[in-house]
Structure 1
């Protein structure tokens, strides 16, 4: 692990496409920034919409309560998840994301800066700040790094899609909507009644 304190950089060079986590640590920006294959993805400087935050807080709370006294931990954004390839050195890591919610069951992956390695479950709540390109890159990133379950929630239409890892490839669920009870394959016993869950979210 690199121990030298990095110099602070106000704005990174966006024309350069092979940034590392070591570079990322030097940036001081208003926007949320993620790195995927060394490429910078910047989200809007404004806070997410209220409905996004409501869904995130509600699901995070339910997961936290469910996981009490269980060997897994849940974290909400901002929380860095780094995906190392061959080395865990900061300068060798080129994939750093901040999922809305993630669950980690191998607690050795946790350190003071977040998670290094694949979480067991990742939840992304769509917002105006999510581009189609970003979502495609994240799908490939999570699949190639063996994130076992990937949930995508659309606040406006109040539906949920789950990708489950099967033999190294993601298999999509059908689109879950109001009236469905969703079950996690990764977190045995965790269910979500979507009609009840979205009932007070307007």
Structure 2
């Protein structure tokens, strides 16, 4: 019987440079992505839009090159741009969950990619800080509109766990701050 090789590598290609994304990030990264994805998926029932979590290449300049990134969570509504394991349209929403290995790239390079591509809403989520930054595309530039750090102690003056967040283009898709970080301990 042939031996199975452990040769699957998760990678992204930006400006012709391949970035190795293996090994996987901390388990909290996956919990946060799963929480956001599950909420999106629940609200997208009977919709033409689809939510993807860490499993679809986003080819952001298919007419120019074969570069791609793999967003942690991505919401797409134009299915004609789905082919095989890639999407070549413009996502309506992307969330990147920070890890020590990807934080700088998520906050700079990938943010610039999504901005240039016209992604209307971009979230940067930090499991470690239990924080969310929400950027809206306005006049071709991302503007930080909301920034939250979860405070889930009801006795604290800054308690905000029940704060409701919604997607700008999809106001029916709502989630509480505490739902994003469910099962993430401090």
Say yes or no: TM over 0.5. yes
1:75 and 1:100 mapped to 2: Cα distance?
Answer: 8
Check whether the contact 2:98–2:106 (CA below 8 A) recurs between aligned residues. Answer: no
1:114 and 1:30 mapped to 2: Cα distance?
Answer: 17
Check whether the contact 1:176–1:182 (CA below 8 A) recurs between aligned residues. Answer: no
TM-score normalised by length of structure 1:
0.76
Shift in alpha-carbon separation, 1:33–1:124, aligned structure 2, 3 A: same
Aligned length: 169
CA RMSD in angstroms comes to: 2.0
**Stretches of 4+ moved more than 4 A in 1?**
none
Check whether the contact 1:36–1:141 (CA below 8 A) recurs between aligned residues. Answer: no
Query: What runs of 5+ residues in structure 1 fail to find an aligned partner?
Result: 1-27
Q: Secondary structure at the match of 1:182?
A: strand
Q: Secondary structure at the match of 1:63?
A: helix
More strand per residue: 1 or 2?
2
1:135 aligns with 2:107: yes
Deviation at 1:29, TM superposition (A): 5.8
In structure 1, what is the equivalent of residue 15 of structure 2?
A: 37
Query: What runs of 5+ residues in structure 2 fail to find an aligned partner?
Result: 1-5, 151-159
TM-score normalised by length of structure 2:
0.82
2:60 and 2:27 mapped to 1: Cα distance?
Answer: 30
> Given the alignment, which residue of 49, 54, 75 partners 2:26?
49
Check whether the contact 1:41–1:134 (CA below 8 A) recurs between aligned residues. Answer: no
